[in-house]
Amino acid sequence: MRRLIALPMAVLVAGSLSVAAPQPAHAAAGCQVTYRVLAGWTTGFVADVTVTNVGDPVTSWELTWSFSAEERVVTGWSGIFDQSGADVTVSNAIWNGTVATQGSITVGFQGGWDAVGVQPSNFHFNGTLCEGTSPPEPVGRILDVGLGATGFHPVRRVAAGGVHALVQNDRPANSSLLPLRLNRLIQAAPSVGTLPLIGDSLAVAPQADRAGAGHYVRMTDRYPGAAYQWSPDWLTIVDMMVGTRLNAYTVGNIAGWEIWNEPDVTWNTAAAGPFNQGWFRIHRQIRARDQRTPIVGPSLSRWDPAFMQSFLSFAVANNALPDVVSWHEVDHSSPRIAANVAEYRQLEESLGIPRLPISISGYAGIDEVDVPGRTASYIAKLERARVADAQRAFWYEAGTMDGLVVNGVQPTGSWWLYKWYGDMAGNMLETTPPYQNGLDGFASYDSTRKIVHVVVGDETGNNTVRLSGLELGTMASVTVEATPSSGRFGAVSAPTVVLNQIYPVVDGELAVVIPNMVAGSAYHLVVQPIFGVPSYQSRYEAENASLFRARPLPHQNASNGGYVGRMDSGSDPRFGSYVDFVVQMPTTRPYTMGVWYANHGASLATHGLSVNGGTYSMLAYPPTSPGGFTHVSTTVLLNAGYNIIRLAKAAPGPTSSSGGSSGFISGAGVVDLDYIELI
């Protein structure tokens, strides 16, 4: 049985071509035509044509047009159809021959095609040509999205992070976290002595692990209610925190030590001396026991070039550079992100510092963080700046992903924005906003499924997303949905569908006008072929996954132009190399998993394979030819919905059991991962 694309006709409105002949002072004839493809499948489609008579009234009519390819009418309604070659003629039925001035008639048909055609042309109504026009011009502000751009980074969801996002190892619920495909979080310091902390980084590590997230340890959140207060025994406390972490052999997702938060406003120089000296002492104390965990800082409250220059100059001179450099962007600063990052990179170069990863350790102001339109603008600018990671700023309650979840499990309006972000796969696309204020967005393209995602916001009225470089054929399905600004306590059960249309694609370009935008809302465009899209995502690129002690790298022979390498840390599960794939499956069943890889060694290499925190099994990789990728296959049992598949050189043991385990630590050789395929 033929299957229409999964878009209900009652909702689906197709792309249209509106054409009109100029109307003389005493019009005798004239027309406007809208041609709509309502649905399509591999061998056919359903369409209709609406004609508006802008001339004198008529009592009978004949409508003609020419198809562009091998389309053919199979059956029609509301008229008498005839076709000769590419030319179609429709005459009125008995009951609809009379059409008044400004009156309309609509005829519909089911058609067949061997390939998707383009918009028909040469429309005539009673012999009068309806002059063709170009597709509608963009209106309002325009966000340009270029699919032809090369060299932009793979989807890493750099801004899918939060501060004090998790508490008690179970809030928010795992089901709320997995769809977001989190990147890096910031959690409180490990509890030592008798002061348990909300969101203790070691206590919540298993939940972060179950969500595929890594996290930085904010050391200054050591004391509840009294953070950032220097005490004479601070270095002793630092040593205790580091020791506590090093004794946690079941934890492998600690991504770094954040030495201090907002030293430009919280450092007590009178009690502790200059910050640069304090940084050096804490840095030295950490490195005395832990030489492997990255150190993060200075975590300024805002971009301050003078402070940063002083800090970096001192750090260079004293061999105390951070491994990750950080600051906040929270004071309505999204328009300045590009300039701030560029200024930092210039400073870095002037001091001879190798290019360091940037962490924006808090973004969006107190009146912005719960407004999807504003946070969409922040994310767009953070993606274009190519920061390593960024976290939603912490303003209110811990354990809510900073306002994404209410009551532990219910999504707010902002949650849907990050769900759309989590759905992105493949490569990020270059987006060009008209200005640094107002309309902005971020986008991705999954070349395997030929799906484009665009998320936009921060604008009012009618505005346009203009895509170029599309290779989806002559027509594309476009869905637009919206999520409102509901605040941190307002649950939103689902986005609102704004439009569902099939649009013509002309020379690889497509303009989508989003009507009646609200500045606080965010909007999600999904652009895809009108048929042939897989029913579920089966291929997951390694460079899109959660990476621990591994790096995404470019390669011309790799799928999607990249792979994950440097997976060479295998002697200690606390610091092991592993990759977590968060996958979404349609049904619970065994799946055949192909792993595409390269092993340039002379002997067999191995990884540990764990599914949903289960016991590790061994996956073996035979050697491959230089520069080439091949695959091995195994069977994995996956649940309907979200799952985590881990491939590890070394990593902690199962996180679903309360006691943990010694972990998998016996991976042999070094393997580069390209992607996994689940069928």
The enclosing H or E element of 377 equals helix 372-385
- CB distance 409 to 401 below 8 Å: no
pLDDT for res 55:
86
How many whole angstroms separate alpha carbon 309 and alpha carbon 198?
A: 34
pLDDT for res 571:
83
Domains of the chain: 19-129 (2.60.40.290), 174-422 (3.20.20.80), 429-528 (2.60.40.1180), 539-678 (2.60.120.260)
pLDDT tens digit sequence for 142-153: 999 999 755 578
Say whether pLDDT at 27 is over 90: no
pLDDT tens digit sequence for 264-295: 999 999 999 999 999 999 999 999 999 999 99
Say whether pLDDT at 655 is over 80: no
How many whole angstroms separate alpha carbon 614 and alpha carbon 677?
A: 20
pLDDT for res 286:
99
pTM: 0.87
pLDDT tens digit sequence for 161-181: 999 999 988 899 999 999 999
Say whether pLDDT at 650 is over 50: yes
Say whether pLDDT at 30 is over 90: no
The enclosing H or E element of 522 equals strand 522-528
How many whole angstroms separate alpha carbon 167 and alpha carbon 151?
A: 38
- Which burial class, exposed, middle or buried, applies to 319 when counting CB atoms under 10 A from its CB (0-12, 13-18, 19+)? exposed
- CB distance 386 to 153 below 8 Å: yes
Say whether pLDDT at 16 is over 60: no
Say whether pLDDT at 252 is over 60: yes
